[in-house]
Amino acid sequence: MILIVDSGSTKSDWIAVDRNGNKMLEKMRTKGLNPEIISDKKIKKIIKGHEDLKANRKIVSHVFFYGAGCGTEKPQNVVKGVLQEVFVNADVHVHEDTMAAVFSTINSDTEAAVVCILGTGSNCSYYDGKMLHQRVNSLGYSIMDDASGNYYGRQLIRDYYFNKMPENIHVAFESKYNMDTDYIKYNMYKKPNPNAYLAHFAEFMFLNKDSEYCVELIKKGIRLFADTMIFQYAEELKTVPVHFAGSIAYFAQNEIKQVAEEMGFTVGNFERRPIEGLVDFHVKNLK
Q: Could you tell me which of 32, 60, 56 has the C-alpha nearest to residue 46?
A: 32
Sort residue 42 into left (φ over 0), alpha (ψ -120 to 50) or beta: alpha
**Is 38 a domain residue?**
yes
The Cα-based distances of 19 to 86, 169, 224, 279 in angstroms read 21, 51, 43, 10
Strand partners, 269: none
Give the Cα separation of 97 and 123 in Å (integer).
9
Q: Could you tell me which of 79, 88, 25 has the C-alpha nearest to residue 51?
A: 25
What is the 3-state secondary structure of 54-97?
A: HHCHHHCCEEEEEECCCCCHHHHHHHHHHHHHHCCCCEEEEEEH
The pLDDT, as a whole number, for residue 274 is: 84
- Give residues with Cβ within 8 angstroms of 142, minimum separation 6: none
Q: Could you tell me which of 124, 62, 119 has the C-alpha nearest to residue 94?
A: 62
**Is 220 a domain residue?**
no
Q: What is the pLDDT along the chain (287 residues), one digit of tens a residue?
A: 999 999 988 789 999 999 988 999 999 999 999 999 899 999 999 999 999 999 999 999 999 999 988 988 999 999 999 999 999 999 999 998 888 889 889 988 789 999 999 998 999 999 999 999 999 988 888 899 999 999 999 999 999 999 999 999 999 999 999 999 999 999 999 998 899 999 999 999 999 999 999 999 999 999 999 999 999 999 999 999 999 999 999 999 999 999 999 999 999 999 998 887 788 778 877 76
Name the pTM for this structure: 0.79
Give the Cα separation of 150 and 134 in Å (integer).
21
**Is 58 a domain residue?**
yes
Give the Cα separation of 79 and 282 in Å (integer).
20
**Is 244 a domain residue?**
no
3-state secondary structure of 126: strand
The Cα-based distances of 68 to 11, 46, 57 in angstroms read 10, 16, 23
**Is 240 a domain residue?**
no
Which domain covers residue 51, as residue numbers? 2-101+274-284
Phi and psi angles of residue 274, each rounded to the nearest 5 degrees, phi first: -60, -25
The pLDDT, as a whole number, for residue 173 is: 98
Give the Cα separation of 119 and 10 in Å (integer).
9
How many domains is the chain built from? Answer: 1
**Is 132 a domain residue?**
no
**Is 33 a domain residue?**
yes
**Is 27 a domain residue?**
yes
The CATH number that applies at residue 76 is 3.30.420.40
